[in-house]
Amino acid sequence: MRGAPSMKSTEKVEYRYFNRELSWLAFNRRVLNLCSNPRFPILERVRFLSIVGSNLDEFFEIRVAGLEQQLESGVLEVGFDGLGPREQLRRISEISSAMMKDAYSCWKSELIPALEKEGVYFKAPSACSASEKEFLKKYFEDNIFPALTPLAIDPAHPFPHLRNKGLYVLLSIAEAGVRRAPAQIAIIPVPPILSRIIKLETGDKKSGERFVFLSDTIKYFSEALFPGCKVRNAAIFRITRNSDLYFDEEETENLLQTIENELHNRRKGAAVRLEIESCVGDTMLKSLVNAIDLDESFIFKTDSGPINLSRLSLAYDNIERPDLKFPPFRPYLPPEFQSREDIFSVIREKDRLLHHPYDSFAPVEDFISQAAKDPSVLAIKLTLYRTDSGSPIVKSLKEAAENGKQVTVLIELKARFDEENNIQWARQLEERGVHVLYGMVGYKTHCKTCLVVRREENGALRRYVHLGTGNYNSKTARIYTDLSLFTANESISQEVANLFNTLTGKVVRPHFDKLMVAPFCFHSKFIELVKRETKNAKAGKPARIIIKVNSVIEQSSIDALYEASQAGVKIDLIVRGICGLVPQVKGMSQNITVKSIVGVYLEHSRIYYFENGGNPEVYAGSGDIMTRNMFKRIECLYPIEDSDIKKRIVDEILASMLKDNLFSNILHSNGAYYPSPDMKKQEPFSCQQYFMDLSNVRSSEAASY
């Protein structure tokens, strides 16, 4: 990264910031390292490898595509880290090539042998036994062949458009029985509707579970699609294309229709990466590269595994071996939420905090479900960024509208790669009478907020609020770590109402005292809080900052943290992914440590702690320390005012994360991440395992009580 210069961490550092893209690649490398971790069950390691693949897909579709657009446009903008697009692309090519090589090596040399020890085999068709080949041939003829469409490439058949991330077989074919017959290129698209993994059912249960990849099978039997021809060479390949959306919101009258059109255009984006088997012939490869107009530095060859590592998630889903996966974990449901009869009285009593996935997500769903049914509820307002198919929350919103309540939903149509789902939800909700809006022009609505207006028994209206760090998505709530706060606090709920009025109406300069809302005051308030710690440190007062986020890449915020460090403020950053801040540099950031926790669950919560001279303030919410979060999105950070909840966040959650040394990596000033040095001095400690154990204890105590 200007990243990662080759020098020891004790050498003088002549730069102030790490590059965003290279920092992200370093994060994905940490995910890849989990695939080799013997502490994880083998199928979980396979799942992590699929995550590495899908992460790289998105990185090329968006980030690499954006850099290439800069080059094409001639606007060679140099970021605050000092790297221009050309140099970034050069380093990305080098690093991602090494990463993919290591990923396929891990699959071939580590995961496949470990799977075979457990009786799970992934076989090439050519390596199958006679009975397996017989089964595979019949399976191909009955289930695959009818769905295939061979595409010859010749003057009458121009090179076809190839789908983004579509899987294909590239072939060199020639007339059979004719000596020196001229070869021509052909392509077989692998139908996306077919299962990518085929289980060999030959009745030989003693041989374990055996699987063959669909693309390998099509390649093996490809000659059947070209009668009278001989296949001289065949290679499976896949193209990644630019998948960003382009449109001017201010010139767009119908945002929903525009995004639907752009989603269609996305499938035709410029090629940014080619993954192909190394057995491909030079002439074939040259023809393909010319046809898709690709920079050759982003051609990745492999001979060690399936093209498209992200498809390995299907292996995890289809192999029914619980003994090779993490033990099932049942989240804790606090006793006050167990009756599920009157959640509003529970919230009225005091603020409530849930720590997902260790605490159940059910109370969030119950909150909206009860609001939909409760005749005393007048209105429900909610922001929807990403949700799951069959979402019970969407179902409750529809029911609420049918029950005559005023339901307003802010749907973010530009939630990357969830646009199609969100368009579907928008249309369904509108059909049921929900007021569906798409936020403010020019800003993504990324905050996680829900407001319920209810008439109490005394006739007064009262607001109930849910504020989160994660999406209203029951599926991701099982694998992402997030916080949920329920409150009926009058001042906070009033500001949440102000936030919704800003989103749905016309408020030029909204004012927030309690909440930190982007783009209005998140950045300025954050800088103010950091400077207060700086001032306190200079005055000899207690000063400390702890921040747990996904990314730190906004320059002025980093500069403020540098200034605080120089004043003597001890700063601990827990940053899962991108970090542009260079820690542990004398005279600049010697009081700042940065650790990344990458473990069983995806760290997703955002928590901000400020010592405030001995009277700590704690915030949680949706915003990271990024330019887009602070200036280009609607984000909401909320204060934790309940003393019990604040104590839990500080003494239980943050303290355990800082103690973690098992799945933590420490960022050094040379841009490299190293395992926690505490591993050599202390017992291994995983905060995620600790939280799971704590939830199990609490569940047992609640059951016995």
670-672-673-675 Cα dihedral, nearest 10 degrees: -90
Count of helix runs (H) and strand runs (E) in the chain = 21, 27
Cα→Cα distances 151→196, 225, 243, 473, Å: 20, 10, 25, 41
Considering just the CA atoms, what is the radius of gyration of the chain in Å?
27
Report the first-to-last Cα separation within the chain, whole angstroms.
Answer: 54
Q: How far apart are CA 705 and CA 703, in angstroms?
A: 5
To which residue do tokens 């945002």 refer? 255
Q: Are 613 and 684 in contact (CB under 8 A)?
A: no
Among positive and negative, which fits the CA dihedral 552, 554, 555, 561?
Answer: negative
CA distances for 526 relative to 114, 401, 522, 531, angstroms: 48, 38, 6, 9
Q: What does the alpha-carbon distance between residue 302 and residue 279 come to, in Å, rounded to a whole number?
A: 8
446, 466, 523, 604: which one is catalytic?
Answer: 446
The single residue listed with the structure tokens 């280009």 is: 632
Residue 700 CA to residue 693 CA, distance in Å, equals: 11
Q: Can you give the three-state secondary structure of 220-271, one letter per residue?
A: HCHHHHCCCEEEEEEEEEEEEECCCCCCCHHHCCCHHHHHHHHHHHHCCCCE
Cα 549 to Cα 608: distance, rounded to the nearest angstrom: 8
Known catalytic membership, residue 523: no
481: helix, coil or strand? strand
The number of beta carbons lying within 10 Å of the beta carbon of residue 76 is 11
Q: Which residues are catalytic?
A: 446
